[in-house]
Every structure is written in C-alpha cells, then in structure tokens.
Amino acid sequence: MMIRRSALAVLATLTIGGAAACTDSGQAGESFTPGTPGIGDPYFPTYGNGGYDVTDYALTLRYDPGNDRLEGSAKITAKATQNLSRFNLDFRGPEVSSVTVDGAGAEQKREADELVVTPASGLRDGSTFTTVVTYAGVPQPITSPELGTGGWLATDKGAIALGQPESASSWYPVNDHPRDKATFGLEMTVPSGLSVLSNGVPGERTSKDGWTTWRWRESSPMASYLSTVVIGDYRVTTGTHQGKPLVTAVDNTLPRGSNADKAMARTGEVADFLATQFGPYPFDAYGGVVVVDDRIRYALETQARPVYSNSFFGASTSEWVVAHELAHQWFGDSVSIAAWKDIWLNEGFATYAEWLWAEHDTGVPVQESFDKAYSSVNWGDPSYDPGTSGLFGNSVYVRGGLVVHALRLEVGDDSFFEILQEWANTKRNASATTDEFIALAERVSGKPLRDFLMTWLTSKTPPPKPGS
C-alpha cells in the first residue's frame, strides 16, 4: 500500500506539471490551476489535499446493517486557497452518483483513493464554496500492513468507523489530514432500536417508519481522523457535567455494572482532574464509548467521545486509559499536530497524563513512573520523527512521556504547568509543530531548551536525568 501511494504521488506531480503548463482559464484573464492531491505531509504524500481549506462537514447518511449499505450525502463547505480549476477529496467509500459545487453539477472521477472534482467554473482564491457528494454502497475498511485496519467496520448489528492515521475517507469524502480541521455534523438514520454514537453534542432524535435518525454536532474544529460513528446495541447513559452534555455508551453484551461501566462513570471526574493540570476542558461535550470487537484492540481519542476497546477494562478497574484518551482532548484534539512526524506531541502528553492520574488516584509518584520508564525504554528509537513504522511505537508514547517529565525537572513545576496550559490555550483549535512547542517552552521558562529537548526526543543514548 505504501508503495502504491508513493507511485500515485509521482503520477500526480506529473499531472500537475502538465496542467500548469496549460492552465484552465475559468474567467477571462485569470488563471485557475488544480489543487494538489496531497496536503504535503512527507509521511503520507496523498493524505489531505491542496488548494482549499474545509470549514464544515455535514453528513446525512442512512445505514442498513441488514445489507451493510451506507447511502446519503456529504456537504462540504470550504474556502479556496488558490484559484482552483479542480480539486481532490480523499475518498475510498462507495460509488458516487453525483457531485455538485455551489449547486451546479460538477465532473467527478475516482483516481485510486481520491475523488477528483472539476467544478463547472473555476473557484476564486478566498471564495467559500459548497460541495455536495452523493454516494451509496457497502463501505470497506482501510487495511495497511504497517498501520493495521481502520475505517468503516461492519459489525453484527451495526458498524464502527474508527482509526488513525486515517479512517474518515472510508465513509465520507474528506480532506484527510489534521492540518485541515473543520466542524462536523452527522445525521445518521438506522433501524429503530439501534444506537448511534458520534462526536460532540447530541441533537434531536426523530423516528419514522421503523427508522430513527440520530444527530450529533461537533462545533469545535476537528481533525478528520478524530471523527467516528458507532452504530449498534449500546447501553447509552446521558447526563450533564459542568453544564455540558456527558454521553457514554457501553456495548450491551457486557453485563450491567461491568468494569467498563465503572470506568465510563468516572469520565467527568478524570476530565476535571486533568483540567486542574492543563486548563479548561476544551470542548462542548464529554463522553466515551466502549466497544467489543476483536478488530479493535485499542482506544482512540475521537473528539469529545473517545472509543475504547473493552480489553482495557478486564479484571481490574483501571482508568489509566481514560486519563490517556481524555488528555488527548487537550493534546491531539484541541491542539492538533501539523504533520504526523510530530505525533509525540499527542502521545507523550497523553502518557504523561497517565502518570499524573496514577499519582492522583493511587498515589504512585510521577517520578516513580518516570524512573521505571527511563530504564525500560529503547533509546535507539526517536520520539520525534519516528517514521511511519514507528508512528505508534513505544518511543512515541513512553519516551514521549519521559521527554515531558524531563522538561518538568528542567524548568520546575511553575514554568512546566504554565507551559502546558499556554500550549493548550494558544494553540487551541489549531495545528502545531514540535518547533512551535520548543519556542513556547523557551519563552515561558526563559531558558534555552532546544538542545535539551531535541536530545531527549532523538538521542540514541539515554540522556542524563535532570538534577542527577
């Protein structure tokens, strides 16, 4: 798959070169050129697209678990960032029957994992335009030998759409990269009796002729891999916390009162503890969904409503994974990465939140967690820029946590927590880089930290522990 992607990128480059030589002119005297088929991430050249910036996705879909068919439309509101003659959306989903741009029919064709859209006339730089893609069929998961299986997974009674670094393109057309964040609304119609969980705040639920439409809205910009939908037989608990909706759901095959239920019941408490460390909770809703599916042996910080494999809630009650995924609401979701090589900014901070939570909840000092990790981590692998095969490796997670604590030891508690809160605050709803984090840490602490942090992030030998 990776080889195929690279080949596609080369092809696309050639195409652009060709098009630039004879630019389409949508309006007299102006030149309009195609947007690039990738957003420019060196790890994943075809992820995302160039030439526009999405502001909102509004999905109106119907799913029938009886035949696995998904049908409906995606309305994508975007702003052109160049004079656009055509543009790409990432889409691996079912057959497209029509595409309109600002209400007018547009040409569309599928090229590998891209939907190429040519509007009837060029889109001027800076203009806002609305694309509606109508499609129907049986969505398929995304499988990569290196990154596992994600995207749309049909289940016995429903479906689960989940995955990192990509999953959204398996069920809706998208600019699939965390650099282009957008608000997100979902209207999903399913057979009555099933539940639909997604991101953000729940909306009105309506039923007709044995079908029920569930509505969800995430009103803070969201990276596309953080969108999810879970359809099935779930025990849904709806309440409020800190004046915001708190919706949790647990697969109904788990007994009532299971460890999964107990962990979900602590969602608000864990979020409140993290808010004392990181600053105000960044979103309009709280929640979590526990799924039982052999293909999902992980948890993911899907925005405002993380999805957890039940495998985390086995014999003992433990909320460390809840602390991890909720920490991502600040670090990963609200503050997103600008490129996948910066992934430690998500995982290092979330690992550190596990240590903070352990100290708060069970009295295990953070220093003890650090010391244990320091002696177990493989220093041969970098935390920053780990390569695609290292994206979810120990060096990103555990070494990332070590980096965060090393920074704390280096600058002291006052500066350290100010750095975390400033980072969450100034980069809220944005995408950010490792360089920007280092610059902010230096500014807040008044100390030069670049060499120190880069050593902790990338040195092949264990750096000396600060203060030792």
Chain residues in the site for Zn ion (CB under 5 A):
347, 350
State the minimum distance, in angstroms, from the CB of residue 456 to Zn ion.
Answer: 19
For the sheet with 107-111, list strands across it. Answer: 87-90, 114-118, 107-111
State the minimum distance, in angstroms, from the CB of residue 362 to Zn ion.
Answer: 20
User: Which one, 151 or 348, has the nearer CB to Zn ion?
Assistant: 348
State the minimum distance, in angstroms, from the CB of residue 332 to Zn ion.
Answer: 7
Using CB positions, name the residue nearest to Zn ion: 350
Distance (Å, whole) CA 379 – CA 247: 40
State the minimum distance, in angstroms, from the CB of residue 325 to Zn ion.
Answer: 7
User: Which one, 147 or 350, has the nearer CB to Zn ion?
Assistant: 350
Cα Rg for the chain, rounded, in angstroms? 22
User: Which one, 203 or 390, has the nearer CB to Zn ion?
Assistant: 390
CB 307 within 8 A of CB 289: yes
State the minimum distance, in angstroms, from the CB of residue 29 to Zn ion.
Answer: 51
User: Which one, 61 or 420, has the nearer CB to Zn ion?
Assistant: 420
State the minimum distance, in angstroms, from the CB of residue 288 to Zn ion.
Answer: 14
User: Which one, 101 or 323, has the nearer CB to Zn ion?
Assistant: 323
Contacts of 269 (CB under 8 A, 6+ apart): none
State the minimum distance, in angstroms, from the CB of residue 396 to Zn ion.
Answer: 9
State the minimum distance, in angstroms, from the CB of residue 315 to Zn ion.
Answer: 22
Helix pair 394-411, 434-445: axis angle to 10 deg = 20
Query: How far is the CA of 8 from the CAs of 5, 85, 142, 329, in angstroms?
Result: 5, 20, 17, 34
User: Which one, 32 or 312, has the nearer CB to Zn ion?
Assistant: 312
User: Which one, 310 or 415, has the nearer CB to Zn ion?
Assistant: 310
User: Which one, 161 or 350, has the nearer CB to Zn ion?
Assistant: 350
